[in-house]
Structure 1
Amino acid sequence: MSDRSDDDILTVWYDGGCPLCLREIALMRRLDRANHIHFVDVADPAQPCPLDRQLLLDRFHARKGTVIYDGAAAFAAMWRAIPVLRPLGELARLPPILWGLEVAYRRFLRVRPILQRWVR
Structure 2
Amino acid sequence: MNTTDTPEALYPLTIYFDGSCQLCSAEIRNLQLRDTHGRLSFVDCSPADFVSPVPGADRAALMNVIHGVGAGGQVLRAVDLFEAAYRAVGLPWVSRLLIHPLIRPIADRAYPWVVRNRYRLPRSLIRGLFERAARRAAQRAAAQPRCSDGACERSPEARS
Shorter-chain TM-score bucket reads: 0.7 to 0.9
Q: What does 1:82-97 correspond to in 2, within 5 Å?
A: 82-83=89-90, 85-97=91-103
Q: Which runs of 5+ in 1 are unaligned?
A: none
- Alpha-carbon separation, structure 2, partners of 1:96 and 1:21: 25
Q: Is the 8 A contact 1:14 1:56 kept in 2?
A: yes
Structure 1 residues 43 and 7: alpha-carbon distance in aligned structure 2, compared to 1, 3 A threshold: same
Name the structure where helix makes up a greater proportion of residues.
Answer: 1
1:42 Cα deviation (Å)? 0.7
- Alpha-carbon separation, structure 1, partners of 2:110 and 2:75: 20
3-state SS, counterpart of residue 63 of structure 2:
helix
RMSD, aligned CA: 2.3
Q: How many corresponding residue pairs?
A: 113
Letter in 1 for 2:21: C
Q: Which runs of 5+ in 2 are unaligned?
A: 1-7, 125-160
More deviation, 41-50/16-25: 41-50
| Runs of at least 4 residues off by over 3 Å | 44-48
Q: Is the 8 A contact 1:79 1:89 kept in 2?
A: yes
Structure 1 residues 99 and 87: alpha-carbon distance in aligned structure 2, compared to 1, 3 A threshold: same
1:42 maps onto 2:45 in alignment: yes
Among 32, 35, 42, the alignment partner of 1:32 is 35
Question: What is the TM-score with the length of structure 2 in the denominator?
Answer: 0.62
Structure 1 residue aligned with 2:19 = 16
Structure 1 residues 13 and 26: alpha-carbon distance in aligned structure 2, compared to 1, 3 A threshold: same
Question: What is the TM-score with the length of structure 1 in the denominator?
Answer: 0.79
3-state SS, counterpart of residue 16 of structure 2:
strand
Name which one, 1 or 2, has greater alpha-carbon Rg. Answer: 2
1:106 maps onto 2:109 in alignment: no
- Seq. identity, %: 27
3-state SS, counterpart of residue 118 of structure 2:
helix
1:41-80 deviation line (CA, Å, top 9, x unaligned) = 1113356531201100111111222221111111111111
Letter in 2 for 1:11: T
Among 75, 85, 106, the alignment partner of 1:78 is 85
Q: Is the 8 A contact 1:80 1:89 kept in 2?
A: yes
